[in-house]
Amino acid sequence: MLPLRAPLKNNLTHDLETTFLALVKNASAYLPAESHDILRNTYEFSKHAHQEQLRAGGDPFISHPLEVAKILSELHMDLATLQAGLLHDVVEDTTVTRDQIKSEFGNEVAEIVEGVTKIDRLESNFTEPSHTAPSRVITEQAENWRKMLIATAKDVRVIFVKLADRRHNMETLGALRDEKRRRISEETLNLYVPLAQRLGMYSIKHDLADLSLKYLEPEVFDKLELKMKTIKVQQETYLKSCVGKLEAVLKPLDIPYRISARPKSLHSVYRKMVRQNKPFEEIQDLAGIRIITDTVEHCYALLGAVHTHFQPVKDSFTDYIAIPKNNLYQSLHTTIEIAPGEIVEVQIRTEEMHSVAEFGVAAHWRYKLGDKTSTQGKIDKVEAKMDWLKKTLEWLEESQDPREMLEGLKAELEFDQVFVFTPKGEVKKLPLGSTPVDFAYEVHSGLGDQCVGAKVNDKMVRLDYQLKSGERCEILTKKGQHPHKDWLDFVKTPRARSKIKKYFKQLS
């Protein structure tokens, strides 16, 4: 359905110009000066295409693509992606065609816009109220997500625009009916939030999670927001004290560093309350501290100083520098007792790691003046790191059960991971709860099919044993062995489940 139509008012036009100038200011930090005129031309084109259209809340429709582009500029996205953000609705909601976009702004921009347009058309099938049977709704949703991931695999910038689009839509959900708000929020929390995390785009992830909580659990959200505001001054004083104690230890090292501290998101606090079964008042680490330095060597030196002077909480240390997450995230994580009975989480990373932590794979599209690396080179680098998406598409193509596909997709997007070593020292990253059978199929489908047993750290274990980070797993095989149906009762990964089912399907 096309947006409503009405003339733009002067004060609204002023607000739009203010937002556009904020977009340009953001882009000025990393794009060359000549990009400003290109952004202006793209914005004026989009504004003309959307002229007189209104959003459901009564705002000029152009305000939405403008805000989407501004969000993308905060993520330091390249020029083509910013342009696509400004243009992402013109093919769907106006008479402008893809060929016109290509002619005016080039094929790169046109392809990103086309990818977002396809996703928008698919989503419209299941965001409107439906009296369709639940099984059919699940089938349609599964197929929509399959196609969206295929579009993402072609150019991951499509999903960058879509995530920015979803964030602004979540910010303006108040104008919609309660039923539709809840449906969009559920999808956002179940799929878009973990997808943003899988891409390492934590700022978007936290925003989407908090906004989802606002509409799915409004009373919980309001109470938490009030409590966080109530303790804000106290929290700021506490964090300032923590930073002071850390600096007293770190300054004598003569290592360059900077420290930042900020409270955790409402949704992350809420999850911790649920997971620990504790009220808000008993949650200790409501904020985190980041120590950012220049080299990996200095990261470990700073960690050593922190652990020397402050007692680390047992089993709290994780080294994501030595073993990065699948979304390229790297950092040292530890929780320390900063004072008797007071604990705080500390993350230590380099400036480059911090950029990836903030922007995820989007960080690799950032331009800098004098940067000799080509855009295509950066794209190739990121795509080489996104094997998980290719593997996901493999089992998406094989899966025949839509309900199972959606559940498998959610499992694949979960980001609680274990890091398990092969006998040769290669690291395999698996979802928390994975078993030796999952590990075998992760190494090779043939290894999984012929699996008869497993050793973990040289000791025999059951095939349903849940692997832990740092363990070494050796798969025992036997020629002529084949998968067992009861493996489906405990395997965790969609890949293993898909391969096992495929084997039995071929027998029938």
Residues forming the active site:
92-93
SS3 276: helix
Interatomic CA distance for residues 493 and 127, integer angstroms: 28
Got the DSSP string for 148-167? HHHHHHH-THHHHHHHHHHH
Distances (CA, A) of 95 to 8, 44, 162, 230: 19, 16, 21, 50
Interatomic CA distance for residues 85 and 167, integer angstroms: 13
HEC sequence for 51-120 = CCEECCCCCECCHHHHHHHHHHHHCCCCHHHHHHHHHCCHHHHCCCCHHHHHHHHCHHHHHHHHHHHHHH
CA dihedral 376, 379, 383, 389 (to 10 degrees): -130
Q: CB neighbours of 314 closer than 8 A, spacing ≥ 6?
A: none
**Element of type H or E holding 424:** none
Interatomic CA distance for residues 64 and 116, integer angstroms: 14
Whose tokens are 């609204």? That residue is 12
Secondary structure letter of residue 457 according to DSSP = T
Query: Where does 101-235 show beta strands of DSSP type E?
Result: none
Q: Are 465 and 454 in contact (CB under 8 A)?
A: yes
Paired with 418 in beta bridges are 430
Interatomic CA distance for residues 423 and 353, integer angstroms: 29
CB crowding 434-448: b at 16 or more within 10 Å, else e: bbbbbbbbbeebeeb
SS3 347: strand
Secondary structure letter of residue 190 according to DSSP = I
What tokens were used for 204?
């978007």
**Element of type H or E holding 374:** none
CB atoms within 10 A of CB 508: 4
What tokens were used for 268?
């992350």
